[in-house]
Structure 1
Amino acid sequence: MKKWILFVLILTSGVLLSACQSTKTDLEYITDKGTFILGYTDFPPMGFLEDGEPSGFDIEIAKLVFERMGVQLEFRYIDWDAKVVELKSRRIDAIWNGLTITDERKLEMTFSKPYFDNSLVIISKTGSNINTIADLSGKTIGVETSSSADISVGKNTTILNSIDEVKKYNTSSEAVLALNAGLVDAVVVDVIYARYVVMKNNNTYQIGTEIIGSEQYGIGFRLGDEALRDRVDDILDELYAEGLIQTISQKYFGADLFIRG
């Protein structure tokens, strides 16, 4: 009888403990474990590895946010195509790396307020005379798998009906390497990344004159993680009001491009 009572008590305690854990908010989950794992990939100047260390505009701002929150920030390099799986499995706590806000992604994650305006453009070799969508006719183009460029091109019937082929790569950097090797004629990427590539490779590449689409970046949290999202947004507002984010923006872009949507 005593063993039975003990078993019931243990079982009841386990159920109560599980119930307590399930009632924790996402913000409490982060503060209790004391760490926040940020998922990123190779997407300069927003987030990238430099001398083996995570660097970039988003990375530097995230460091300020979680220092103020009193939580240790950790970084995990992810396969961009598997970002939602990484998020849902709790291998990462957010995707913060030039992530475009889309209606499709809103079904899979909770977004912060927009913090960056962006657009999609065409990169090609200098002298290629590829400046507009019409110039892509009969050409092979490269995109990063599951990127906003991939999504946008996939919906653009004008592009799809005129080009020869779309080739997909793990990162935008790999797509540009394919361009350099002559495997594709042009690459569709975010204008922020395009400017970075042109700046780093003077006279090698050119940016097309036609904008393919406009977009905004946001931080992607687990679906329903609204308390955590709101806390991060509040800290970003504080940092911007104090002029700290503007300094980082000037460092990477030479201008204050951070927005509070």
Structure 2
Amino acid sequence: MRRYISAAFIFLFSINILYSDAIFIGVASEFPPYQFNVEGKVTGFDVDVANLLFFKMGIDIIFVQDEWDRVFNMLRAGTIDAIVGIENNEIRRIYFEFSKAYYTREDVLFVRADNTEIKTLDDLTNKIITGDRHSYIELDWIEEGIINKFRIRQTESKSDSM
């Protein structure tokens, strides 16, 4: 269940470079080590990748950091030019064009260490599971026809899910 993560750039991105001194790139607030904030400074692996990429292209960037849903909707509304580190999936390809992936990661389920009754996926049947919207696990479960076995409570962020 390995998934690909990549930066999303929509067509407006290339138009904006012609008419602006900088482009605006959205990042999530609470997704360490990829995107987070330390003492008011936007940081993380995705931020480092974007900084290096756009520095090499000679393009100034301004990071816009907020809760994930807000960042996602800003890109859909065209108030920012790109999102760095967005998961590429079928739902998102309806709205955005994606670059090639620059890293991969695997989705996993976390269970509290003191929980001795959850050993398999079937043990989660009728349990409440938290996760951020459009997660790959949720999409895989839809595809496998098992999504209705679980009660998923969508959260604002991965941090809230934890």
TM interval, shorter chain, is 0.7 to 0.9
**How large is the RMSD of aligned CA atoms in angstroms?**
2.4
- 1:88 aligns with one of 76, 85, 89: 76
The corresponding residue for 1:48 is: 36
Structure 1 residues 175 and 88: CA distance shift in structure 2, 3 A: closer
Aligned-pair identity (%): 25
Give yes or no for contact 2:34–2:45 (8 Å, CA) kept in 1.
yes
Structure 1 residues 25 and 144: CA distance shift in structure 2, 3 A: closer
The corresponding residue for 1:171 is: 157
Which amino acid counterpart does residue 79 of structure 2 have in structure 1?
Answer: R
Structure 1 residues 84 and 29: CA distance shift in structure 2, 3 A: same
Structure 1 residues 74 and 153: CA distance shift in structure 2, 3 A: farther
Normalised to the residue count of structure 2, the TM-score between the two structures is 0.79
Structure 1 residues 153 and 40: CA distance shift in structure 2, 3 A: farther
In structure 2, how many angstroms separate the alpha carbons of the residues matched to 1:152 and 1:28? 35
The corresponding residue for 1:125 is: 112
Give yes or no for contact 2:12–2:81 (8 Å, CA) kept in 1.
no
Which amino acid counterpart does residue 66 of structure 1 have in structure 2?
Answer: F
In structure 2, how many angstroms separate the alpha carbons of the residues matched to 1:25 and 1:84? 15
Give yes or no for contact 1:31–1:71 (8 Å, CA) kept in 2.
no
Deviation at 1:87, TM superposition (A): 1.3
The corresponding residue for 2:58 is: 70
Unaligned runs of 5+ in 2: 1-10
| Deviations 1:114-159, CA, capped at 9 Å, x for gaps | 2222221111111324343122123211011344344445555325
The corresponding residue for 2:17 is: 30
| Deviations 1:159-192, CA, capped at 9 Å, x for gaps | 532x3x221110010111xxxxxxxxxxxxxxxx
Structure 1 residues 61 and 26: CA distance shift in structure 2, 3 A: closer
| Deviations 1:195-221, CA, capped at 9 Å, x for gaps | xxxxxxxxxxxxxxxxxxxxxxxxxxx
Give yes or no for contact 1:133–1:159 (8 Å, CA) kept in 2.
no
The corresponding residue for 1:203 is: none
Structure 1 residues 154 and 126: CA distance shift in structure 2, 3 A: same
- Higher RCO (C-alpha 8 Å, min separation 6): 2
The corresponding residue for 2:89 is: 102
Structure 1 residues 103 and 25: CA distance shift in structure 2, 3 A: closer
In structure 2, how many angstroms separate the alpha carbons of the residues matched to 1:139 and 1:127? 16
In structure 2, how many angstroms separate the alpha carbons of the residues matched to 1:25 and 1:152? 31
Deviation at 1:91, TM superposition (A): 1.5
Give yes or no for contact 1:43–1:173 (8 Å, CA) kept in 2.
yes
